[in-house]
Amino acid sequence: MAEELGTEPAHRPSALDIAAQWAQLPAEHLAVALAALDPQLAREHELRMQAERARERAELERLQSERVEQQRAHRRHVLGISAALTVALATLGASLYFGTHDHPVLAVTFFGPTLLALVKIFALQRSDPDDMKHVAAAAKRAASAVPPPPP
């Protein structure tokens, strides 16, 4: 009844408890007790072995999922580094192109804080709020440093 209500679980005596009780009886009864004890010990052993195998399977699955997650994280990191390198080379190339074709504002915009902000986003996978402020300030400085076109 206690098991059904969910209160205290009923205490099941182990095979050794049973053997201790039977040891107090005469030798004929002890032989019967040991014969009855063998299947109980085998059942308890099998239950312990099943529990141990289940625990080992759970641990193996946990380790395998951790390994898969580490592989995914490594792939994301390598992809981020590759993207950062691509962005860095593209912005440096664009800066060089615009710098040699008389577009200094665009050359400065692609170089400097913009380059650093984009590489930081891809390589470190984070961005600070000040990054865009630095980019905007650099663009303003570049625009104010360029002389106006002749009329």
Residues with Cβ within 8 Å of residue 108, at least 6 apart in sequence = 95, 138, 139, 141, 142, 145
Biggest CA–CA distance in the chain, Å, is 124
The percent of residues in the chain predicted with pLDDT above 90, rounded, is 25
With respect to residue 34, please indicate whether it lies within any of the assigned structural domains.
yes
Query: 91 with 115: CB under 8 angstroms?
Result: yes
Distance of alpha carbon 9 from alpha carbon 113, whole angstroms? 68
Domain count, the chain: 1
Residue of 55 and 87 predicted with greater confidence:
55
For 127, phi then psi, to 5°, come to -145, 140
Task: Establish if 5 belongs to a structural domain.
Answer: no
Q: Looking at the domain assignment, is residue 3 inside a domain?
A: no
Instruction: Tell whether the model's pLDDT for residue 46 goes beyond 70.
Output: yes
Within a domain: 25? yes
Greater pLDDT, 34 or 47: 47
- Specify the pLDDT at position 3: 46
What the block records as the tokens of 109 is: 């915009």
129 assigned to some structural domain: yes
User: 67 is in which domain, residue-wise?
Assistant: 14-145
